A = this chain, B = another copy of it.
């Protein structure tokens, strides 16, 4: 039901360019790279997410009669071309870094190898899907990091930018470490924990707060978290909650989980006071959940101030990635196959050096220190290059080339990050479950230095080019400026 056909979810220019290639009867195989230029939030890393939805999109790509009729009505497409579209399906190959992986700027995270007409069409939707989920996964990971050993729940559906943003944003949040979501549809479609108790309206629909709590506890004795801030948190909410907890205890009910939720006021002050009140009443096991405009910075500060908070419900700031609501993934031409079947590297110039692309048919290796198991660098090279860990490996910074590190033979291990997803139109990859992806993501983060996880001014990973790739890039740049 939710794998809707997104074939027309594309910018018009993809179709006008397609017709151009069709008209020229020249449809060379090309390579497009998806990559991003810098980490959002000045983070030390980002998290790959959305590949499963990209796969669904590509599998479902086809122009219905309706779609073709609509395109005909625009009066810019020829009947021949529309005929071609009716029979269109994707015949190319796609390689990608799996979901849950840590990813870094300027390295290809997904690569499309396909006839240019096909490769051009899929640009917009692939970027839309990856940009969204990578963004929310990265934001969520920062929030989860700030919360440390306390759990983060995703509660943002009502403020998400439309239904999909809620549905898939929650998916990305769980991949990145959130313990669950309030979004029931995400729970159903992706088998992840769903969470939530009641709202202020529940309290307000009863004659008084105590009666409302009591009714809720009667109904959900197993897991009873009461929202205590409808009237006055410390004077009314917490005492009423304790009264109900005591009545449950007296009745011999021992719930799996007792707790309160704070949703307004000063969360540091109120949580410490509430903790004391709960403890004094003999409810040391009762947990305190906090919500209300939280993000990684506020959680970090509240924890610094000793807030007695056991779990966090994070909404708007997570699901919209408020301080940076877009992920700058781009889709750039890297190579065109010539008549001899070789991929000729292509480069996009820019006055802004940061925007110059890496040419050619590339892959990404991740280099780990053998001793610590931690990531040392990512190494971008041509697909036909191999790294032999029994030989020394020279790493150097592609912008500041005097910065060099030699990895001694035997001191490092290597992992190729990109995996085949589609080969000649056939999907060869099975997406893991979201729970599996989340577990893998946790492992991935364990291999990242703590210095790169900091919220503020983290160490930025080394992203290096192979000497051969560096040389080819340099030659292309030299040749282009000589043309001036």
Q: Which residues of A are interface residues toward B (Cβ below 8 A)? A: 1-2, 4-6, 8-13, 15-17, 19-21, 23-24, 28, 30, 32, 66-67, 70-71, 74, 76, 116, 120, 123-125, 127-129, 131-133, 135-136, 155, 157-169, 182-185, 187-188, 194-202, 204-205, 215-216, 219-220, 222-223, 230-232, 235, 264-265, 316, 320-322, 325-329, 331-333, 336, 346, 348-352, 480, 484
Measured CB to CB, the nearest residue on chain B to A23 is B219
Contact (Cβ within 8 A) B184 A158: no
Q: Point out the residue from B123, B187, B235, B322 that lies within 8 Å of A158, measured CB to CB.
A: B123
Measured CB to CB, the nearest residue on chain B to A336 is B205
A101 to B360, CA, bound (A): 52
Q: Which residues of B contact A128 (CB under 8 A)?
A: 157-160, 162-163, 166
Q: Which residues of B contact A11 (CB under 8 A)?
A: 155, 157-158, 182-184, 196
Q: Point out the residue from B76, B185, B230, B320 that lies within 8 Å of A220, measured CB to CB.
A: B76
Q: Which residues of B contact A127 (CB under 8 A)?
A: 158-159
Q: Point out the residue from B2, B8, B20, B201 that lies within 8 Å of A185, measured CB to CB.
A: B8
Measured CB to CB, the nearest residue on chain B to A69 is B188
Q: Which residues of B contact A336 (CB under 8 A)?
A: 205
Contact (Cβ within 8 A) A264 B351: yes
Measured CB to CB, the nearest residue on chain B to A201 is B333
A155 to B81, CA, bound (A): 24
- Output the least CB separation between A440 and chain B (Å): 23
Stoichiometry, as copies per complex, reads: 2
Contact (Cβ within 8 A) A67 B325: no
Q: Point out the residue from B17, B188, B216, B265 that lies within 8 Å of A202, measured CB to CB.
A: B17
Between-chain CB contacts (< 8 Å), 12 pairs:
A1-B5, A13-B198, A16-B198, A21-B205, A23-B219, A116-B205, A127-B158, A129-B162, A135-B161, A161-B320, A200-B333, A204-B346
A201 to B336, CA, bound (A): 11
A125 to B167, CA, bound (A): 11
Q: Point out the residue from B15, B321, B331 that lies within 8 Å of A325, measured CB to CB.
A: B321
Other than the known A10-B183, A74-B194, what 17 A-B pairs have Cβ atoms closer than 8 Å?
A6-B185, A10-B185, A15-B184, A16-B219, A20-B198, A20-B216, A23-B219, A24-B215, A76-B220, A76-B223, A123-B158, A158-B329, A161-B321, A161-B326, A201-B332, A232-B484, A321-B325
A187 to B8, CA, bound (A): 9
Q: Which residues of B contact A6 (CB under 8 A)?
A: 163, 185
